């Protein structure tokens, strides 16, 4: 028994509206960037369902409604669903969408020409309608194949099957109409009409199930990716925190080591060695800090890949090991117990220390002048104080080394030792170029230097040693005229 065509048309309308409406209700209100895609798919489907009613003209609408309005609604509904399906595919779809839009324009232009200009009858127009729609639904097959290649899931295959059903049933209807063995009107109940109606219902159902399944699959994949990225981000954050804590420990250890360098030196050359170690330690610590800041910045911007994060962490581990090795070496050298302070003959100490630089002074053409009064302090570390004197002498000679030779006054370095009532005063004076005002404010700061190749450790360490002896060090300098360093040390043991 062949069903009543008008009844089946209402069934098609209900299938369109119910299926697309259900998907809209289920998905469109989700907090998702794909909600426009869902609304486009559902609204286009319901528009096509309404167009079926107008096209069949079961309620006696004016002819222009079924001829023009209904067809335009059907074409736009089909176009919207094609747009929505392509949004599941990567890349730019403007060319494909343009061709689909062009099909709508060309179809309506030819139909209008055939009807309004040439005056073709209903039979000819129906042949044109069914034949062109066979071409119009081929896009579902193409998109279905593309979706299946990308996702390899049931939903993609259902879209492909829906496209095949659309195409085959429309082709049977067009062939039956053209050959004369099929229904020759919209309402005539023949087998090709039945195939078309059933095919429409099946294809609409399959395409909606396919659309929904692909949507849910993609949403699930996004959740998995977000969870995976969250796990990786937490792991990177934990690693960053661990290395940040280790960095702080290393910085604290560095400061502790530097504070005790002056008390730990056991030879005249120990200060320079300590400075080298401290300078080397800064390099891996700076690298660790830069890498940690880089990872923090990348994570905040959400731009860091797992590969890049692993590379940064590997660099952190390498620099961490390097810093730990430097600290180990410093500990070996400096963790020996310090000798107690003892009386120091500063006169002999200054004379002996000056003799160490006589050869260099002669090479530079600098005259060394000594004015030493007998002077002894009751408590002090001779090695550390010798290091201060040696550093001041070398700084004075360094000043002459870079001073112009063509001048009236001969270059000199004068060392004075004054025995005062409560303290011993040591002065090292040179007539070199002086210290620029730019560097005078930070002269005793660690790593501040005006010398090429200097590390900025000597004066900081000298100041630390003198203050450890409860003394005081200061300087006066006039750029272009010279510099005077003054060291005051208490003569008597402090109670």
The residue among 383 and 29 whose pLDDT is bigger is 383
d(CA 368, CA 416) in angstroms, rounded, equals 11
- Contact of 134 with 178, CB cutoff 8 Å: no
| 242 within some domain | no
Q: What distances in angstroms separate CA 424 from CA 123, 124, 326, 494, one per listed residue?
A: 125, 123, 38, 14
Q: What share of the chain in percent tops pLDDT 70?
A: 81
With a cut of 90, say whether residue 142 has pLDDT above it.
Answer: yes
With a cut of 70, say whether residue 195 has pLDDT above it.
Answer: yes
With a cut of 90, say whether residue 313 has pLDDT above it.
Answer: no
Residue 28: band (very low, low, confident or very high) from pLDDT cuts 50, 70, 90: low
Residue of 446, 1, 79 lying closest to 262 (CA atoms): 446
Query: Domain residues for 31?
Result: 5-229
Indicate whether 291 and 355 sit together in one domain: no
Q: What share of the chain in percent tops pLDDT 90?
A: 32
Half-sphere exposure of 292 toward its Cβ, with a 13 Å CA cutoff?
Answer: 21
Indicate whether 316 and 380 sit together in one domain: no
Region 314-332: what's the mean pLDDT?
Answer: 67
pLDDT score for 280: 58
With a cut of 70, say whether residue 456 has pLDDT above it.
Answer: no
With a cut of 80, say whether residue 277 has pLDDT above it.
Answer: no
DSSP calls for 422-453: SEEEEEEEE-SS---HHHHTTTTSTT---STT
Region 478-483: what's the mean pLDDT?
Answer: 87
d(CA 138, CA 459) in angstroms, rounded, equals 86
Indicate whether 210 and 61 sit together in one domain: yes
DSSP bridge pairs for 18: none
Q: Which of 120-124, 424-428, 449-453 has the lowest mean pLDDT?
A: 449-453
Phi, psi angles (nearest 5°) of residue 484:
-125, 125
pLDDT score for 332: 45
d(CA 164, CA 144) in angstroms, rounded, equals 9
Indicate whether 49 and 100 sit together in one domain: yes
Residue 331: band (very low, low, confident or very high) from pLDDT cuts 50, 70, 90: low
The residue among 449 and 210 whose pLDDT is bigger is 210
DSSP run (H or E) holding 302: none
| 495 within some domain | no
- Dihedral (Cα; 252, 254, 258, 264), 10-degree rounding: 100
77-109 pLDDT, tens digit each = 999 999 999 999 988 899 999 999 999 999 999
Between the ranges 6-15, 121-130, 181-190, 415-424, where is the mean pLDDT highest? 415-424
Indicate whether 203 and 276 sit together in one domain: no
With a cut of 50, say whether residue 452 has pLDDT above it.
Answer: no
pLDDT score for 267: 45
| 250 within some domain | no
d(CA 175, CA 169) in angstroms, rounded, equals 10
Joined tokens for residue 329: 């070496």
Indicate whether 324 and 270 sit together in one domain: yes
Please report the sign of the dihedral spanned by the C-alpha atoms of residue 71, residue 76, residue 81, residue 85.
Answer: positive
Indicate whether 354 and 324 sit together in one domain: no
Q: What is the mean pLDDT of the chain?
A: 81
User: Three-state DSSP class for 3?
Assistant: coil
Residue 180: band (very low, low, confident or very high) from pLDDT cuts 50, 70, 90: confident
Region 170-179: what's the mean pLDDT?
Answer: 89
pLDDT score for 324: 72
d(CA 348, CA 320) in angstroms, rounded, equals 46
| 247 within some domain | no
Last residue of a domain, one of 183, 206, 229: 229
| 423 within some domain | yes
47-67 pLDDT, tens digit each = 998 888 887 765 567 778 877
Last residue of a domain, one of 334, 353, 370: 334
d(CA 12, CA 24) in angstroms, rounded, equals 18
Residue 454: band (very low, low, confident or very high) from pLDDT cuts 50, 70, 90: very low
Residue of 156, 209, 200, 197 lying closest to 41 (CA atoms): 209
Joined tokens for residue 193: 């009409």
Indicate whether 102 and 220 sit together in one domain: yes
Query: Which ranges constitute the DSSP H helices of 335-448?
Result: 346-355, 358-364, 382-401, 437-440
Indicate whether 155 and 205 sit together in one domain: yes
- Contact of 127 with 177, CB cutoff 8 Å: yes
Crossing angle of the two packed helices 94-112 and 122-136, in degrees rounded to 10? 170
With a cut of 80, say whether residue 270 has pLDDT above it.
Answer: no
With a cut of 70, say whether residue 112 has pLDDT above it.
Answer: yes
Region 156-165: what's the mean pLDDT?
Answer: 94
With a cut of 70, say whether residue 455 has pLDDT above it.
Answer: no
Joined tokens for residue 433: 């170029």
Residue 203: band (very low, low, confident or very high) from pLDDT cuts 50, 70, 90: very high
Q: What is the pTM of this model?
A: 0.50
User: Three-state DSSP class for 413?
Assistant: strand
Q: Which of 126-140, 222-236, 246-260 has the lowest mean pLDDT?
A: 246-260
Last residue of a domain, one of 229, 252, 275: 229
Sheet-wide strand order for 482-490 = 367-372, 412-419, 423-430, 482-490, 472-478
| 324 within some domain | yes
Q: What distances in angstroms separate CA 303 from CA 238, 298, 376, one per listed residue?
A: 18, 5, 67
Q: Cα–chain-centroid distance for residue 354?
A: 57
d(CA 51, CA 354) in angstroms, rounded, equals 108
DSSP state of 493: -
Indicate whether 172 and 289 sit together in one domain: no
The residue among 335 and 24 whose pLDDT is bigger is 24
d(CA 100, CA 83) in angstroms, rounded, equals 9
pLDDT score for 111: 92
CATH code of the domain in which 480 resides: 3.30.565.10
Joined tokens for residue 372: 């030493």
| 246 within some domain | no
| 184 within some domain | yes
Indicate whether 461 and 363 sit together in one domain: yes
d(CA 325, CA 319) in angstroms, rounded, equals 10
Indicate whether 197 and 298 sit together in one domain: no
377-398 pLDDT, tens digit each = 989 988 889 889 998 998 899 8
pLDDT score for 59: 59
Ramachandran quadrant class, 476 (left: phi over 0; alpha: psi -120 to 50; beta: rest): beta
Q: How many domains is the chain partitioned into structurally?
A: 3
């Amino acid at each position: 028994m062949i069903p009543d065509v008008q009844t089946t048309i209402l069934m098609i309308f209900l299938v369109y509206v119910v299926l697309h409406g259900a998907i809209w209700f289920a998905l469109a209100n989700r907090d998702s960037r794909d909600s426009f895609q869902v609304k486009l798919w559902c609204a286009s489907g319901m528009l096509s369902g309404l167009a079926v009613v107008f096209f069949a003209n079961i309620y006696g609408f004016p002819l222009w409604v079924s001829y023009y309005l209904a067809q335009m609604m059907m074409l736009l509904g089909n176009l919207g669903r094609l747009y929505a399906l392509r949004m599941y595919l990567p890349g730019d779809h403007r060319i494909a969408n343009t061709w689909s839009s062009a099909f709508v324009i060309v179809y309506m232009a030819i139909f209008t020409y055939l009807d309004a200009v040439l005056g073709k009858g209903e039979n000819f127009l129906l042949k044109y309608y069914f034949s062109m729609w066979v071409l119009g639904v081929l896009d579902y097959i193409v998109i279905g194949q593309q979706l299946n290649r990308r996702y390899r899931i049931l939903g993609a295959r259902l879209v492909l099957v829906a496209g095949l059903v659309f195409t085959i049933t429309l082709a049977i209807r067009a062939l039956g109409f053209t050959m004369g063995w099929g229904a020759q009107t919209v309402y005539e109940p023949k087998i090709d009409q039945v195939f078309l109606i059933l095919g429409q219902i099946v294809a609409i159902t399959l395409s909606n199930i396919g659309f929904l399944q692909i949507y849910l699959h993609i949403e699930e994949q996004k959740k998995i990716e977000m969870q995976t990225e969250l796990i990786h981000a937490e792991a990177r954050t934990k690693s960053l925190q661990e290395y940040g804590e280790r960095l702080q420990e290393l910085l604290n250890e560095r400061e502790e080591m530097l504070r005790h360098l002056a008390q730990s030196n056991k030879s005249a050359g120990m200060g320079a060695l300590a400075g080298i170690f401290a300078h080397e330690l800064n390099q891996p610590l700076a690298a660790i800090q830069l890498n940690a800041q880089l990872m923090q910045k990348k994570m905040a911007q959400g731009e860091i890949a797992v590969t890049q994060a692993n590379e940064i962490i590997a660099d952190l581990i390498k620099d961490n090991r390097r810093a730990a090795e430097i600290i180990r070496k410093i500990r070996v050298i400096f963790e020996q117990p310090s000798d107690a302070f003892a009386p120091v003959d500063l006169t002999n100490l200054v004379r002996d220390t000056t003799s160490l630089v006589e050869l260099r002074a002669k090479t530079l053409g600098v005259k060394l002048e000594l004015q030493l009064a007998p002077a002894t302090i009751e408590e002090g570390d001779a090695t550390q104080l010798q290091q201060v004197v040696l550093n001041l002498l070398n700084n004075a000679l360094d000043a002459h080394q870079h001073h112009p030779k063509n001048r009236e006054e001969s270059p000199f370095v004068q060392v004075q030792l004054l025995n005062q009532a409560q303290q011993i005063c040591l002065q090292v004076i040179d007539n070199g170029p002086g210290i620029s005002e730019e560097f005078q404010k930070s002269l005793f700061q660690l790593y501040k230097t005006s010398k090429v190749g200097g590390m900025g450790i000597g004066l900081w360490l000298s100041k630390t040693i003198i203050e450890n002896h409860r003394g005081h060090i200061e300087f006066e300098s006039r750029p272009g005229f010279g510099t005077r360093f003054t060291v005051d040390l208490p003569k008597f043991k402090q109670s």
